[in-house]
Structure formats: structure tokens, C-alpha cells
Chain A
Amino acid sequence: MLVSLNWLKNYVDIDGISPEELAEKVTKSGIEVDNVEYIAQQSNNVVIGYVETCEKHPNADKLNLCQVNVGEETLQIICGAPNIRAGQKVAVAKPGAVLPGNFKIKKAKLRGVESNGMICSLQELGFNEKHIPKEFTEGIYVFPEDAPIGESVDTLLNANDAVLEFDLTPNRADALSMLGVAYEVGALLDKSINLPSEEVNVSSEKAADYISVKVEDESLNPYYGAFVIKDVEIKSSPLWMQNYLLAAGIRPINNVVDITNYVLLEYGQPLHAFDYDRLGSKEIVVRSAKQDEKIVTLDDVERTLTPENLLITNGKDPIALAGVMGGADSEVTGETKNILLEAAFFNSISIRKTVKATGLRSEASTRYEKGIDPNRVKRAGLRACHLLEQYAGGKVLDGVVEFDKLDRTEKTVEINTNTINSRLGTEISTDEIAKILDRLSFNYEREGESFTVFAPTRRQDITIFEDMLEEVARIYGYDNLPFTLPTGASTAGGLTKRQSLRRSVKNYLEGVGLMETRTYSLTSDTFIKKLVSPEILTLNPEPISLAMPMSEEHKYLRLSVLPELLKTVSYNLARNQSNISLYEIGSIFITDEKELTKQPDEQLRLSGVLTGKWLEHLWQQESKKVDFYVVKGIVEGLFEHLELPLTVKQTKLADMHPGRTAAILLNGKEIGFIGQLHPALEKEMDLKETYVFDINMEAVLDTHNHVPSYTQIPRYPSVTRDIAFILVNEVNAGDVKTTIEEVGAPLVKQVQVFDLYKGENLPEGKKSVAYSLLYQDPEKTLVDEEVESSYQKVIEAVNEKHGAYVRA
């Protein structure tokens, strides 16, 4: 809502307060003022001049030589504007005037002829194009004939006006009118309101003889008022009205249309003027459209309707799309003589449906959608009649022909001083509350400390106690509320076990060199089925797509965090960031339903991606590329950190390297995978050799139940024995390790692989894996024989199970 302060002054006294101060006050009381705009700067020495003569410049085709009467003198001025004519009243910058941009007007000679000033366009006076009537955007501005010669142009052009741009919250539809704004400003400044005149001369003719009104569904249209105005003269509206409309962002058209727009802005009540003689009948019937019924609206577009759209008809054909836009057939034109003026109350939901279906949103429909004041409908019609009489020479016929089932009762809300104060934490007195209600111009009955407030119908947002609480608080001033802290029972608060564990996982990962990322949950067709973990695939997940995606990029709810994480890697690689180690903890969305009927299972995943160098080449170390074991080490470390058993097994997965991918198992159940991307995918995404891990975080959080407890530090020394086996390549080192652990128990406490060798001195297809075994007995010092016997059992078992023999 654009609020012209010059216009506002007609209803409430705002003298002595600057536009900026007013904006600040309004903002602090609940309506945010986004902008304060001045129409133009004050222009000294720019006056209204009368062009007495206008002839071609002797030496220039496109220039005119004018004699312009500016009151006390007549100036010779050369003007290049295409629309300059003798007999016009124009804006003249006299020598000495300073125009915007510090442009000083001086006497000059143009092609040998003297010019003593400048005839100005409104742009040259500093007006924004949106504040200029359309016909004057391409040349000089022409004043109406009655403009006083020699007067400063400022007042006539409303140049000194400031316009506040209100950013209204949806509850404050009341401020979609100048009167509503006046009530708000009046309450803030503690000023009374002057209401505009709605008086008309009573005609001897009765409107009812000219029109009848029928409404089919009163719930959609509880009030329809028809006024008839005869013998109007279509011409320009008065300059002040045009200026106000321009300031409010509406272009003037003619007096009739301008008056309906003016009252729309003044009262917040949409009005529509029909050309009475083009109605095609003497009746108005309001009904729902038939399926596929058609109407050509004012913008000359044919629209096909459904029964959800409410229509104004002449009993037969549609003449307007109710509350949204009039029809072209009954439009007011230059030839219009008689007018039917509609002032109606339409159901907001019905209007919203029509707006949605047609995409037509207008100043009128916006007000209907947000809810209008039932007590202002008819009054707005009368106000328009008053103005039509004044400025269009119309004769207003007696009476309004109406259908009226409109509920105009005011809502009552009970408040009392005690409840107000106990909710706000204040000590506002009963008198003060009464004063606040007075400032708001709310009617009330007071009994002791209790009030029955009759919320005015312009304030449709006030229905319950809390609404009144807000009204009292905001006029009292939120700044005046004290600062207190809650006095209720104190609560422990804190993170849940899962939440703290998640933080601990994050700290671990960041401590070992990974950076946390946050990527989008919505992914594309290309990615939705990529890198979904094997155990998720066994659930037969159906991709969940948005009903109306904004782009192909963000269409599906992800089934894996990895694809979006890999996009991040591509992004970084393209910016010369080649060593990358990232992770994210985020949800995936799993359902096996093709059509979603319930919320999907949201599973938190821990996913990571690493590429490039793990260790840089530096003076003291060789560089080392990220490989499978770097990533596995990080995952192993995590499970050790959480005191969870980790096992992996070789696996195959689409888009992953067939020989370098392992499933991660927790207590025998698959919960994710580690591995290298398939080179084909790496190529497709412009990646280098890239390793990933992806883990069901929920399983990790659910399984974790470790509580640290003290165990006796062993008092007896341990013994270490090393052993190297020669194995065929296909035997997994991990399986041999498991055998050693099983057979060696309970004396073998720890088995570590410390060497892997292939090549010279070993037969083709074989490898040597060296293990270090740690023996310990918590009860006593180990004797050689025990260790030796255990050692031999290990050798035998490994030989038997894996065909391995000890390397000499």
C-alpha cells in the first residue's frame, strides 16, 4: 500500500511530523514502512506559463519559438518538445531556476535566437516516470485550462508529497485504505479522524425504476448495491485526484474510472462502473458461472470459466467477473452517458479461487481476498456518487437498489486490566487502557476494571482476547514492556544421548581431517538412483518426487547423500581445489510406496568423499594419494571411537569400482559401504580417483551403548611374536587374521598386519602377509612353552584353513 501523505492529511492531522518520523512510528507499531519516497524536490522559479504564440524557429526545423506569459512578464522561450502548442498552460523554469541534477537555467541564445527560460517536462522537474500521466511521458506537461498563470507548479503537481510504502502483514487488511491508515495514524498520534463527505443531491427519479438486483447465492455475495447516475460527462478527473492516484501507483484514465479507483483506495471498497446503456437489460443477476461459460474481460482477453467463478450478469450474459474484473461489453467509454455503479461484498474464498484460476490479481480482488469492511460497502458507493456529482456532472438517482443479507455486527471481546497486565507483565492502569481504546476509536463499555470492546468491522482481524491484548500492547508500546525472565519450574534441558553422540562423531571426523558440508536434499533424475547403499536397495525404495518441482535439478528426495556430495567435489575441482575430504550427516527418504500415503522413513546417513592427496609432498614427507585404506582407516577409527565392532566384506555395487568396494557390517547386518567410484562415473562427473563411504547413522546411534568402565591394567608382561604367511593372492588377509584371533584366544590379545609383500622370491600368484601377535595372560607371567604351543596351533590352523605356510 502506497500512502500519499498529502492525501492522508485530508483525514488526520499530521502536521509537525516528518515523513521519516511518521514511518518510524508506524513501523514500530506493527506496519513496516519499507520506503519513504518524495514525488519531486521543491522547484523555485518554476511557474505556470501560458503559451501565447508558438512558431517555428527560423533556423531550426525541430525547435519552436514561443512567447510565454508567466504572469508579471512574457518570456521568449525556445522549446523542442513535440507536443508544444499555442494556448497551452505549461511548466516554465525561469532564468535562475535550478532543476534536479543541479541544472541551472540561464538566458541563452539558441541558433541565434534568444531563449529566456525553459518549458519543462515532468522528468526534467525530477518526477519519476510512474508519477507522470501516460500522455505526458513523451513531452512537456500540459496543465488544465484553469491553472493559475504565474503560480508555482509545486502545489498543482503535488511535488512536495512524500509517499510511504507500507508492507502489510496479512492481518492488517484495514490498512489497505486511506481511511484505515488514518485510523492507525490517528491512534499513534492521538488525533481524531475527519471523514469525507458522502452527501448527494436527491433526484426525483428513482434508481429502482432503472434496475433490479437478484443474487442467487447469498453466501457468495451477501450484499450487492446498485446506484444509477445519469448524464455524466466523461473527461479528465481533477488534477488533485490524478496526483493522488499517481502517488498511489494508479494511472488516471477518466473522471469516472478515476473516481471508482479513488474511492477504492480511500475506503478500501472495490467499486465498478458499468455503462448503463450497454448493460443489455435492466437487471443485475449475480450467479456462478456455468462450466465453460465465456467472458471477454476489460483487458480484451476471452476467459473460459467454471462454476467456481462468480459472475455479474444482465440476466442472460456475463457482464463482469465478480470482484476481479469487468467485462469489455459494458465498459465505460468516452461516449458513456449513464452509469450503473456497483458496490458489493463478495466472499473472499470465492474471489481467491477466481484469481487463482484466471491469474488476474487487481487492486479490487486483493481487497476482497483479504476481507473488506461490511460497514463501508454502501458508504463507498455513496462517496463515489458524491464525487461523480461533483466532478462528472452526474445526476444521482434516488435510492440504492440492493440485495442485503450482510452481517454488519461488531465482534465483542472481553478484556480486563488484570488479565491484560498478567499476560503482558505490565502495570497498565484501567484508565490508560480506556485511553488506548479511545485512541484506536474502538467503542466499549467499561465496568470497573472490565471492558466489553466492540471491535470495529474495519478491523476484521480482531476476534479474541489475544487480539485485543496485542492492540493494547502495541499502542502502549512494545518498548515499554519490561524485561523479565520466566519464573516457572526450572528444567534440566540438554541434548539427548543420540544428539551428543552425533556431535561426538562430528568432532571425530573433523579431528581426522574431514570438513563438514551441507548439500541439498532434493536431487535430479540423473542422481536419484545413484550410489544407493545395498541395504537400502533391498527395501525396494521408490523415488519420491515433488508434485510441482521448480527445476529438474531439485525434483526428488534423495536416496543417497553421496551424489550431491560428489557435485560439491566437482565444483571444488573446477576451482583448483584438488585435495578434498568432505562429509555430511543428512537424511535420505525411503518408501516402497509408488504413491505416497504416509510419511517416508527418514534415515540419517553419514557420508564422506575423499580425493586427491591425503599427504602433501613436503620436505619431510613423501606425498600420498587418498586410497581405499585411508578411507577405511577413518571408518575403522570411527567405530573404535564408538566402541562398535566393524566388519567389512568385499561387495559389488553399481557405479562403484568392482574390485575396490566393501560392504560395512555391524553385528552381521549391512549398514553401508566404502570404496572407490567406478572410473566411468568419475569420468561422467569430471572427477579424479575418488573414494567414498556411506553409513546408516541411525544404526550406529542405535547400537552404541558403550559406557566406559575401568579394567585392571595388566600387571604381567606381554610377549610379541611375528609370523609371515605365504598365501595365494585370493585369500583375504582379514580372514587369516580372524583365524589367528579365534585359534589364539584367549592368550592372543591383538593381531596386527605389519607387512604385505608380493614379487621377487615369491611364486607367481602368491603373497606374503606378516602378522604381529601380542600374547598376554592377565593372571600370571607367560612361560615360553605356553606361547610356543599357542603359536604352533595358529600355524597349523592357518595352514589347514587357508593353505598357508610360514615364510622362512
Chain B
Amino acid sequence: MQEELKAIQQEALVKVEEVNDLKELQAIKVAYLGKKGSLTQVLRGMGKLTPEERPVIGEVANQVREAITSAIDTKNTILENAALEEKLQKEAIDVTLPGRPVKVGGPHLLTKVIEEIEDLFIGMGYEVREGPEVETDYFNFEALNLPKDHPARDMQDSFYITNELLLRTHTSPVQARTMQEYNGEKGFKMICPGRVYRRDTDDATHSHQFTQIEGLYVDKDVKMSDLKGVLNVFAKKMFGEDRKIRLRPSFFPFTEPSVEMDISCKVCDGHGCSVCKGTGWIEILGAGMVHPNVLEMGGYDPKVYSGFAFGMGPERIAMLKYGVNDIRQFYLNDQRFLKQFHQA
């Protein structure tokens, strides 16, 4: 019987070795180890054995069962792996076909520039303020030291609706409103972005509607060198660490002293080229120390408080920074233009 068992083992192992199909392997398992399998059949004859022989044969039988089971399991794993491998091979795809497109839009270039400037000043502790686009003559002009007869406020330059109401020509009225709100009680820092309007015929460099960002800092002991320092930080962050700034005296009714800020031309690094008209410098923004009349009208005592203000045009900055050569592009909204600035 012992030989019989060994023979079964031998035969089974050979079959397992040869088989290459999971189903056939299953059949082998049934054929040897199943209820009607040959090993089971042999073990049925155990009853005829003597009590002395039984444990010996029993042990052999167990060894044989284990050997066959183990061989089948091993083979099973091999065949399963092979089958999986084959299945995966069949599932192969052309990875070079394009992916399913995701629809994405994006911000307008001006918004991008405005938010960049907002975030830069927010980082320096400025709040962001907004105000109405239809302004009173008082806030647009008078509160900014531009009395009724001032030549700088020609009717021809502004879109008036009535004698007292007009489309704001700058975002400075938001500064005047903010001062009145704080009412001379404490210092503050703010910037005010927004749409403004002027009587200009639309062409490559003029637009009857455009945007502005102005800033105002009022506190005790604000110095002109602070203005220079803050503008320097702004210019370097906005246009690159290697840009230099230059202040030139200028004139605005609401600041005194007034300055114009230039940055060194990026194209020629200040040596002079066609972009900077040979000067090496590019005009970026206007600024100055808040005029005492403006402080006073805003409720601030100019003997105690001083401040600086600055104002810039996001269109101009976008044009310089991204090479846009026609201001009308910002308002035509050609999708091909809009898309150029959607990437991070």
C-alpha cells in the first residue's frame, strides 16, 4: 500500500508539473484529492490494515497528500499569475492618445495684475477699499484740493452726468472717503483699485475706461523717504529684484511734494533703447506726500499727521510687463487674447 501511495504521489506530481491550465489543475486536484479521487480511494482501504500498519501508512498518506496539495497550490499561484499577466497584456492601451479634456477658464489679465498688486500691499498691511464709480464733484475734485475753478478739472476731461455728478476720473475719491470715515482719529493704510473714466478717444494708448490702483498711508511722522522705500519694495516685487527706481519731481494738486516714479528699463537694463525712448527709464506711477489741504478736508490735522499717496494704471503695468501694445485689447476680450494669460 505504501508503494501504491508513493506511485500516486509520483504520478500526481508529474501531472501537476505538466499542466498549464487552471481548469486542468483543478481537475487534477479533484482526480487525486477529491472525494472520489485516487488518493481517497486508496485511503479507503486503510480499514483492512493491521493496527500496527495503520499509523505508519497514515503518516505516509498524509505526507503524500501534503506533497500533492503543496504542488497544486504552487502551480496554482504560478498559473494564476500567468493568467493575470496575460489579461493585463490584453488590457494595454495607447497611452499617447490625448486625455479627456478638462474645461478651464481663467482671469482677465487686468484682474491678474490688480490682484498681484493687492496681495503685495496686503502683505505690507494695507486694506483694500472700493467706492462708487459715479462720484460727486466734491469727492472727485474738491476734497482732493481741486476747487471749482482749477484748470486741471476741465469739463472736457471728465464725463459729467449733472453739474454735481460725474464718472470718477480716478480712484482718489475713495481715499477722501476713507479719510472721512476714519475722521482723523488714527493712522491707516489702504489701496483702492477700480474702474475710472476719462474723455479720451479710444486708440492704441488711450481708453475712455480704464483701471487705477491708488494707495494712501496716513500716520504720524510719515516721511518722504518712507514713500521712496515703499515704492522701491513695490517696484522690485512687481518688476524684478534687479530693477532700480528713480523719483522725479512732478505736480498733482493733491500731493506736495509730488513725484513721478520711473523704473530702470528691463529691455536695455538702463542703457537706453527704443522701449524707453533712449532714456533708460520707464515711467510707472505718480505719487507724493499728501497735500495739507487734503488731510485737513479729510479730518486730519496736518500738523500732527502726514502721509503719502500713490496711483498707478494696471493697464500700463500690464502693457509693460507682458508686452501688450494696444490698450484696446483689454476691453475687446478676444478669447485668443484672454487665453494667453490663463496659465499660472
Contact = CB atoms under 8 A, between A and B. Distances in A.
Interface of A: 24, 27-30, 32, 169-172, 349, 352, 369-370, 422-426, 464-467, 469-470, 473-474, 478-479, 481-496, 499, 503, 506, 509-522, 544-550, 554, 557, 568, 571-572, 575, 577, 580-583, 586-587, 589, 595-600, 602, 614-616, 618-621
3 cross-chain pairs, A with B, having the tightest CB-CB distances, nearest first: A425-B225, A30-B249, A513-B103
Given A478-B249, A516-B111, A548-B155, A483 B121 contact: no
Given A557-B167, A614-B103, 9 more contacts: A425-B225, A464-B256, A482-B229, A484-B228, A485-B229, A486-B217, A514-B105, A544-B134, A571-B334
Nearest to A483: B229
A478 B288 CA distance: 12
A511 B107 CA distance: 10
A521 B292 CA distance: 34
Contacts of A546: 159-161, 167
Contacts of A172: 251
B124 A493 contact: yes
8 contacts: A30-B250, A465-B292, A482-B228, A485-B230, A491-B127, A513-B105, A515-B108, A568-B332
A517 B126 contact: no
A29, A503, A510, A571 — which one has the most chain B CB atoms within 10 A of its CB? A510
A618 B108 contact: no
Contact of A589 (B134, B258, B306): B134
B248 interface: yes
B237 to A, nearest CB: 13
Interface in B198-240: 199, 201, 208-209, 217, 219-226, 228-230, 232-233
A554 B336 CA distance: 25
B133 A485 contact: no
Interface string B168-198: 0000000000000000000111000001010
A517 B247 contact: no
Interface residues of B, number: 87
Interface stretch (B12-20, B64-72, B93-101): B93-101
A544 B162 CA distance: 10
B323 interface: no
A527 B121 CA distance: 38
Nearest to B250: A169
Given A491-B127, A494-B127, A580-B335, A484 B225 contact: yes
B230 A486 contact: yes
Given A491-B189, A519-B333, A171 B251 contact: yes
B116 to A, nearest CB: 13
Contact of A478 (B217, B229, B248, B333): B248
A662 B332 CA distance: 29
Nearest to B260: A32
A422 B303 CA distance: 12
Given A483-B225, A515-B335, A547-B162, A620 B108 contact: no
A573 B199 CA distance: 30
Interface string B272-285: 00000001000000
Contacts of A595: 162
Contacts of A503: 115
Contacts of A170: 151-152, 251
Nearest to A369: B151
Contacts of B132: 599, 602
B133 A587 contact: yes
Given A474-B249, A516-B338, A484 B223 contact: yes
B289 interface: yes
A464 B187 CA distance: 24
A465, A486, A548 — which one has the most chain B CB atoms within 10 A of its CB? A486
A484 B100 contact: no
Contacts of A485: 226, 229-230, 233
Interface string B242-267: 00001111110000111110000000
Contact of B149 (A349, A370, A581): A349
A616 B101 contact: yes
Contacts of B333: 517-519, 568, 571-572, 582
Nearest to B257: A470
A619 to B, nearest CB: 6
Contact of B107 (A510, A520, A580): A510
A481 B228 contact: yes
Contact of B228 (A352, A483, A568, A596): A483
Interface string B118-137: 10011111111010111110
Contacts of A27: 248
A515 B229 contact: no
B128 A495 contact: yes
A488 B103 contact: no
A557 B125 contact: no
B256 A466 contact: yes
A512 B105 CA distance: 7
Contact of A486 (B121, B208, B222, B292): B222
B127 to A, nearest CB: 5
A219 to B, nearest CB: 14
B124, B246, B251, B336 — which one has the most chain A CB atoms within 10 A of its CB? B251
A466 B127 contact: no
B248 A30 contact: yes
A370 B151 CA distance: 8
Given A483-B232, A550-B201, A572 B225 contact: no
Nearest to B252: A169
B134 to A, nearest CB: 5
Contacts of B34: none
Given A481-B225, A582-B333, A521 B133 contact: yes
B104 A511 contact: yes
Contacts of A487: 221, 226
B6 interface: no
A514 B104 CA distance: 7
Nearest to B104: A513
Nearest to A464: B292
B220 A488 contact: yes
A490 B125 CA distance: 7
A27 B233 CA distance: 24
A509 B105 contact: yes
Contact of B134 (A494, A512, A599): A599
B342 interface: yes
Contacts of B221: 422, 487-488
A493 B228 contact: no
A620 B161 CA distance: 56
